[in-house]
């Protein structure tokens, strides 16, 4: 089916915690690299590689258990997707560790705040799919537990088309596949909102506060069920990682089918985040305005040294 005609249907990426059926275990894609499960065609994380990643297990009012991701953004706060925490009665959080069975921290909370424009009574994908979780303790940061910086409001509408991004999680390794024990990550390429909207047939779900990303170098690379609420990260203009997206949705045809995945831009929500948490998460990106050309009198050997040692890696400008 042509991309322009496909898919106004999208899947939220949280998933009920159930034992895999034999048919799920029979996927060739899941077993082709024995001992190397994938987020979807990604790689296993090293210990401490992604210290801001959190694993969530949420219990709904009917007793069902769901899995999601999240990120540490402060010693007392985590960031996730609103559909992960909506109508949940308790949240179990794992932090600091690549294996779910060996977290550095394991604790529970019941406090979360979803964006007021996200309607928790609806079960369909919608914009403003963002929320924060209040920890019931103050995290002590170390090599395995660290916060990540959020996208600056100055970059909230930045076009990341063609920019290399990274996402991670313990979500399923293929559509209807199994979830791994070890944290996985994968590179994705930013996709303009125009191209993303066209891929979903002009869907109104793709709005200014949406950021989309497609496969990096393998068509199947993507997020999948269980990755919701996790991070989409860029190496920013100052060389520091920033979370530019919160994992929200994929195509209704599946996780591995080559259509863009959708994320929520936290840069749009700084005012609300500060109102809820009392924490100022915004920051001012360095100016990228080029210096005026020097005159011959102003040119010096010092300028030559600075020029030869400067970095040219600002690929996301």
Q: Give tens-digit pLDDT for 85-138.
A: 999 999 999 999 899 999 999 999 999 999 999 999 998 899 999 999 999 999
Q: What are the structure tokens assigned to 274, written together?
A: 């500060």
Question: Are the CB atoms for 245 and 214 separated by under 8 Å?
Answer: no
Give the three-class secondary structure for 258.
coil
> What's the confidence (pLDDT) of residue 12?
54
- Looking at the DSSP bridge assignments, the partners of residue 55 are 69, 94
What pLDDT score does 8 carry?
36
Stated pTM of the model: 0.79
What pLDDT shows up at residue 13? 52
250: nearest Cα among 192, 194, 200, 310? 200
Which domains are assigned to the chain? Answer: 10-17+36-277 (2.40.10.120)
Residues 19 and 261 sit within 8 Å (Cβ to Cβ): no
CA pair distance 11, 27, nearest whole angstrom: 20
The pLDDT value given to residue 287: 78
Of 45, 88, 73, 91, residue with least CA distance to 139: 73
CB 249 within 8 A of CB 261: yes
Q: Residue 178's pLDDT is what?
A: 63
Q: How many whole angstroms separate alpha carbon 158 and alpha carbon 135?
A: 31
Q: From the CA atom positions of the chain, what is the Rg in Å?
A: 20
Q: What is the pLDDT of residue 94?
A: 97
Helices (H) and strands (E) in the chain, counts: 6, 17
What is the model's pLDDT at position 275?
98
pLDDT value, residue 315: 35
Q: According to the model, what pLDDT value does residue 299 have?
A: 37
Q: Can you read off the two tokens belonging to residue 14? A: 């949280």
Determine the Cα–Cα distance for residues 239 and 191; give it in Å rounded to an integer.
21
What pLDDT, on a 0 to 100 scale, did the predictor assign at position 123?
A: 85
Structure tokens at 234: 């860029």
Low-confidence stretches of the chain (pLDDT < 50) are 1-11, 15-39, 289-317
């Amino acid at each position: 089916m042509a991309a322009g005609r496909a898919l106004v249907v999208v899947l939220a990426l949280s998933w009920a915690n159930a034992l895999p059926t034999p048919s799920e275990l029979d996927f060739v894609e899941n077993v082709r690299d024995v001992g190397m499960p994938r987020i979807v065609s990604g790689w296993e994380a090293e210990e401490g590689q992604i210290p801001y990643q959190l694993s969530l297990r949420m219990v709904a009012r009917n007793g069902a258990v769901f899995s999601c991701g999240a990120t540490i953004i402060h010693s007392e706060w985590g960031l996730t997707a609103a559909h992960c925490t909506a109508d949940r009665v308790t949240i179990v959080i794992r932090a600091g560790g690549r294996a779910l069975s060996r977290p550095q921290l394991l604790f529970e909370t019941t406090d979360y705040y979803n964006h007021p424009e996200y309607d928790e009574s609806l079960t369909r994908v919608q914009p403003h799919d963002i929320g924060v979780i209040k920890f019931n303790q103050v995290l002590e940061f170390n090599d395995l537990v660290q916060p990540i910086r959020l996208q600056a409001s100055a970059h909230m509408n930045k076009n990341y088309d063609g920019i290399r991004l990274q996402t991670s999680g313990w979500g399923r390794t293929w559509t209807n596949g199994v979830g791994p024990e070890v944290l996985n990550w994968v590179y994705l390429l930013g996709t303009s909102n125009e191209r993303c909207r066209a891929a979903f047939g002009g869907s109104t779900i793709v709005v200014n506060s949406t950021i989309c990303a497609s496969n990096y170098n393998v068509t199947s690379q993507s997020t999948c069920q269980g990755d919701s609420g996790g991070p989409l990260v860029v190496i920013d203009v100052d060389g520091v990682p920033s979370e530019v997206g919160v994992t929200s949705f994929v195509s209704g045809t599946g996780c591995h089918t080559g259509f863009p995945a959708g994320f929520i831009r936290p840069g749009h929500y700084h005012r609300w985040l500060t109102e809820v948490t009392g924490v100022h998460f915004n920051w001012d990106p360095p100016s990228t305005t080029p210096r005026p050309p020097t005159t011959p009198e102003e040119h010096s050997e010092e300028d030559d040294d600075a020029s030869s040692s400067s970095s040219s890696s600002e690929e996301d400008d």
